[in-house]
Amino acid sequence: MRALPPLILLDPILQNWLLEDIGRGDRTTQGLWEAPDKIVQAEWTAKAEGVIAGLPIAKRIFQLLSDQTSFVSVVAEGENCHPGQVIARLHGSLNTLLMGERVALNLAMHLSGISTLTREYADQLADLATQLVDTRKTTPGLRLLEKYATQVGGAINHRFGLDDAVMIKDNHIVAAGSIKDAIARIREQMPYPLRIEVETETLEQVTEALDQGADIIMLDNMPLERMRQAVHKIRGKNDRLKIEASGNITLDTIRAVAQTGVDYISTSAPITRSTWLDLSMNLLHENRI
């Protein structure tokens, strides 16, 4: 279930983006017309096929500029759109609509691109029990919204930050000396009710993680046959323990990975490999000044 970030978190981010773009004022709009506060109407149109995400956030951008602005979504979050389809209708001052246009469109195009590619990955798992999970490979400053977009596309969120869970990865294991030592040290000071996930690359590491009572075991960059053996080993000892697969997951491989029996597949691809969905805003002709 997707959840829009609360305004107390969202507003400062959006305000900073608006300040970056507006600077000391919209020289073009304010210089062309004597009455930039004239009320006009506009439409947002899709120029490519994809999955829409970010319209409620775009609406908030315009409302921060003027609470008199109306932004009505024609399509729902997560709905498919096609080229030429109107996805939103706007009503407000010329100054507000043109001043907020770029920031709002940039955000919606970026988030819609993420949700579009996420949907392609999620569709590969539609008839399977395995769930698609995102990662911390996000654009600095945009994690909150990029992870929202993956939810819209059909994924679930992994941890948002380092404080969300304990994840013992390869470099932690090297630094600690072993999975056993890493888990023992962390358990002494981790707060309840955090869980421990361990990244493994070999069957020997899987056995060690099992013996030390890890809550989640990640199978990282494992060949399919080794992954099947790891799942069988884990299920044989603890059928309630969660298993995550990760590492170079593509649209061509994700289904085969899921069929090994893992509970989750985590991939950064929907965020790191997505392209923006092309959207545009057009003033209606009757608004000519």
| Residues labelled catalytic | 102, 137, 169, 199, 220
Kindly state the greatest CA–CA separation across the chain.
Answer: 76
Give residue 216's Cα distance to chain centre: 22
Do 182 and 193 meet the contact criterion of CB atoms below 8 Å apart? Answer: no
Question: Helices 143-153 & 94-123, crossing angle to 10 degrees?
Answer: 60
Q: Token match 């195009």: residue?
A: 109
Measured between alpha carbons, how far is 219 from 98 in angstroms, rounded to an integer? 49
SS3 115: helix
- Geometric angle at alpha carbon 231, from 225 and 232, rounded to 5°: 90
Q: Token match 């030390």: residue?
A: 212
Measured between alpha carbons, how far is 136 from 62 in angstroms, rounded to an integer? 29
SS3 161: coil
Measured between alpha carbons, how far is 60 from 115 in angstroms, rounded to an integer? 19
Measured between alpha carbons, how far is 198 from 186 in angstroms, rounded to an integer? 12
DSSP 166: E
